Chain A
Amino acid sequence: MEINPIILKFVYAAVVVGVVMGLCSYAVLAERKVCSWIQGRVGPNRTTLPLIGSIPVIGKFLTRLGIFQPVADGAKFLFKEDVTPAHVNKFYFIMAPVLSLVPALTTVVVVPFGRYVTEAGEIIPLVLADLDVGLLFLFAISSLGVYGVVLAGWSSNSKFSFLGGIRASAQMISYELAMGISVLPVLMWVNAPGTDGTLSLFDIGQAQEGLWFVMWMPLSFLIFLVCLFAETNRLPFDMAESETELVSGFHTEYSSFKFGLFFVGEYAHMIVGSCVITVLFLGGWNPAPFLTWDYLGFGDGILGAVLSVGTFMGKMCASLFLFIWVRWTLPRFRYDQVMRLGWQYLLPLSIANLIVYIFVIYFLDTTSF
């Protein structure tokens, strides 16, 4: 049976977006649970579904873990009254939440999450589109995410929202630079002389069958991580929200489903960020440094594909946990500190890092051993 390839792509895209949205809702649950554990509380443990919740032992256990909470949260967002204040610019007010969610979901297109080895030994990347310029595409689309925040702040027509929007635009531009430069050593190593030049994320993941990049480019990893926190507007960089100063920043005037879109957008950004950091630095779908599923004999066929996706998801969840952990541990920076950190420390540091690795990679490539 022949299926139209375009329809097939639509189906794949729907599946991937579904998985990301599901992960988003459970990331929210994880955030609430981890936060309450860190603060010595219990967290959501009451919400339950009629049938599953009444199974003895298991039902109670799941309820206490809060597994059913995301359903209730989602329903709450849908059914709350949607207030549009009279003083807002209606068009941009409605556009802004959409603009903050769409780029996050679009970037998922180029993120590879595993590999499938056919019987002929051919390696097929599990990704919606394995672009040659994958990494640049990712940076390009995620840089559009700032418009959601900026327009929300401006169209709300209130002081606090406006300040949040202004802060977000300055912050995102500042950290994009250091972020872009910090990954250059990785790309230089992947594009060694004699290979086809590529920025495909899948090839970067494949290049880490030996040493993971986090191990011999720790500084790049650190800079990238800090910039990622700033770009996703997470604490300690959530200048756009900072509820102690700006009520809740750019989304002060939002309610109900529009607020829900911002909320989901933030978590979608975090999930994509975790995926990228896994692919770039944490070895992608390889279980351990110098160890691939091939060496263990599980590399081929469906089993290998499932294992590689599982490994990838595990690493991604670990870095998602890091996001949450940091949020409930570190205090927020002051705004001038954020700007100083970005321009005076991270940017020079990333350039210095790049120059050092230019020489290191040059010597590694020219000396044969």
Chain B
Amino acid sequence: MTDLFFYIFSAVALISAFTVVFSRNTVNAAMALIVTFLSMASLFVLLEAYFLAVVQVLVYAGAVVVLFLFIVMLLDAKEDKQKKISRISTAAAVIGFAILVMGVVAIQSSPTLAEASGGELAASQMTLKTFGNQLFTTYLLPMQVTGFLLLIAMVGVIVISKKAKQPQS
């Protein structure tokens, strides 16, 4: 039963992820992104990491994509015409794909893979309290750094979007 659900949800996640990338209609892409997030949340549920699943839906599907849709609709993006691909982006795509292949090969050939997927997952069946404790003790530094990065991004957006005041002449 669980296996069947796993295959269904991962298939949905993959298909919708490809739709995000290949769709020429931006609204379709944004909606496919929601489906991707939802099916990833279902995968978290299958791993019994309920908190992660709920946060995934709450933050990404519920808030981030709404903003995407908001912008897409405001700009009224039409379906893209086929553009000529520049040399730089071809090179970047090739390098990116090469890195992806190397990554997959590295993970596949790693000797610890078998035991990692066979054993109990760290996030499985964690209560909220353990999450909170870990976040504020063991992983305090990464969390603070992430928060700081987000703050920088936020300040950056405000600086860019606010017009500089013209000096009074």
Contact = CB atoms under 8 A, between A and B. Distances in A.
Interface in B2-61: 27, 31, 34, 50-51, 54-55, 57-58, 61
A150 B50 contact: no
Given A133-B51, A133-B54, A136-B58, A197 B70 contact: no
A38 interface: no
A143 B66 CA distance: 9
Contacts of B121: none
B66 A136 contact: no
Interface string A147-172: 10011001000000010011001101
Interface residues of A, number: 29
Interface residues of B, number: 22
B58 A139 contact: yes
A199 interface: yes
Contacts, number: 73
Given A154-B73, A162-B73, A166-B74, A132 B66 contact: no
B142 interface: no
Contacts of B50: 131-133
B66 A197 contact: no
B132 interface: yes
A176 interface: yes
A140 B74 CA distance: 25
Nearest to B41: A140
Nearest to B70: A169
A92 interface: yes
Given A132-B127, A176-B63, 16 more contacts: A92-B27, A136-B51, A139-B58, A139-B62, A143-B57, A143-B58, A143-B62, A144-B61, A150-B69, A150-B73, A154-B73, A169-B66, A191-B129, A196-B129, A197-B127, A199-B128
Interface of A: 92, 131-133, 136-137, 139-141, 143-144, 146-147, 150-151, 154, 162, 165-166, 169-170, 172-173, 176, 191, 196-199
